[in-house]
Amino acid sequence: MRTKTWKESPDPHRDAKLDRIEQVLDRFPDRVFPFDEFGPLGIRPTAGSCWAKQGKPNRLPATYRRTHGVTYFHGCYSVGDDRLWGVNRRRKGTVNTLAALKSVRAARPDGAPIYIILDNLSAHTGADMRRWAKKNKVELCFTPTYASWANPIEAHFGPLRQFTLANSHHRSHPTQTQALHCYLRWRNANARHPDVLTAQRKERARIRSEKVIRWGGRPLSAAA
């Protein structure tokens, strides 16, 4: 994951939210599901890197009329299973977000609590969402304002974009969606071994436990 810019979070509950996310990731990795959307995804030529014959660049056409509208990818990541899945919707909103979270709840039908990490988008924080979450034993773990990097799914959206959207010229939304789902099938068929995931979680916990270093921050002396 590459950080282009950085803005400190003014959220008064920043540390409490980060602590809770860290706690559930360490204690309940098999029951944690980071969730987020990205978009808008339009139908247009998209620049990107690729292999091409020397002296024969793979050029993309220009586009001036965009008549297909846009979609938004609603994605969810299972921390314990190292699986990523999602669906394209025509718009963001509480209805589509709630439908996605219901599919997450269905992934653990045993009735025990699950933990969903998500940002503070208005579609995530409404009364309907909170009532449903309380009724179905779902804890919504919100990231602090301007701290979407605290959501583990963000690191998986980069490869998803690179392999499906970069250097692409999809002709329609169904074709674009098919490319997204093709990547998801390949990625989940090549999920990392559980021992590798455990070792990575331990290493991240070790780094976060270092004195005055949390979530990729800098030591106080360096910041000064």
Predicted model pTM:
0.81
Question: Mean pLDDT of all residues in the chain?
Answer: 84
Are 77 and 156 contacting, i.e. CB atoms less than 8 angstroms apart?
yes
How sure is the predictor about 222, in pLDDT bands with cuts at 50, 70 and 90?
very low
Instruction: Please give the pLDDT value at position 199.
Output: 85
Mean predicted confidence (pLDDT) in 89-97? 89
Are 60 and 169 contacting, i.e. CB atoms less than 8 angstroms apart?
yes
Instruction: Please give the pLDDT value at position 213.
Output: 53
How sure is the predictor about 220, in pLDDT bands with cuts at 50, 70 and 90?
very low
Q: Looking at per-residue confidence, does 120 or 200 come out higher?
A: 120
Answer yes or no: is pLDDT of 18 > 60: yes
Which two three-digit tokens encode residue 170? 């999809």
Q: Looking at per-residue confidence, does 148 or 57 come out higher?
A: 148
State the number of CA atoms in the 13 A half-sphere of 100 facing the CB. 29
Q: Which residues of 179-190 are buried (b: 16+ CB within 10 A; e: fewer)?
A: ebeebbeebeee
Residue ranges of domains in the chain: 14-43+65-209
pLDDT tens digits along 132-183: 999 999 999 999 998 888 899 998 998 999 899 887 888 888 999 999 999 9
Which two three-digit tokens encode residue 185? 């099938």
Are 21 and 98 contacting, i.e. CB atoms less than 8 angstroms apart?
no
Mean predicted confidence (pLDDT) in 51-66? 71
**Does domain 14-43+65-209 fall into CATH 3.30.420.10?**
yes
